[in-house]
Amino acid sequence: MATTYSQAQGYSRDHMRSRRETIERLDRLSQIMDTAIAVPGTNIRFGADAIIGLVPGIGDGVSTAIAAWIVYEAHRLGVPRRVLLRMIGNVAIDGLAGSVPVLGDLFDVAFRANRRNVRILREHFGLEVPVTPR
């Protein structure tokens, strides 16, 4: 039986499965937040992030907290600091731009920080990056 790079680095098959399951869970969450709903007759997709962001005062904070949780999970998975910084940058850009009324919500639809961050995680761990709706 061949030994994978991850196993050679001390990760057991169970640990790798757990990591994959965590990333799959984060992927589902990112889809709900960023691309769950399609506008009929168009290629435009949006998710709960854009809807939650419409709530004055707390909406952007809630969306940013969920995005920060994805980064926290990446930290728990042991990604290097440079990867975490890229992910934090995506959350910061999304949070700052999202705080602008109306235009920020349109930016959320286009930027999709959560989908970007899960893609970064998948690429870091060498997992297949599924084709996602645009």
More confident residue, 56 or 90: 90
The pLDDT tens digits for 29-67 are 999 999 999 999 999 999 999 999 888 878 889 999 999
Taking the C-alpha atoms of residue 94 and residue 107, their distance in angstroms, rounded to an integer, is 8
In a domain, 83, yes or no: yes
Please give the pLDDT value at position 77.
Answer: 96
What does the pLDDT average to over 96-114? Answer: 89
Other Cβ atoms closer than 10 A to 121: 25
Is 4 inside any structural domain? no
- Domains in the chain: how many in total? 1
117 neighbors 90 (Cβ within 8 angstroms): yes
More confident residue, 60 or 78: 78
| Host H or E run for residue 37 | strand 37-38
Contact 29, 114 (CB under 8 A): yes
Question: Is 100 a domain residue?
Answer: yes
Q: Is the pTM of this model over 0.75?
A: yes
Write out the residue range of the structural domain in which residue 65 sits: 12-124
Let me know if residue 6 belongs to a domain: no
Q: What would the DSSP string read from start to end of 54-108?
A: TSTTTHHHHHHHHHHHHHHHHHHTT--HHHHHHHHHHHHHHHHHHTSTTHHHHHH
5 vs 24: which has the higher pLDDT: 24
On whether residue 67 sits in a domain, the answer given is yes
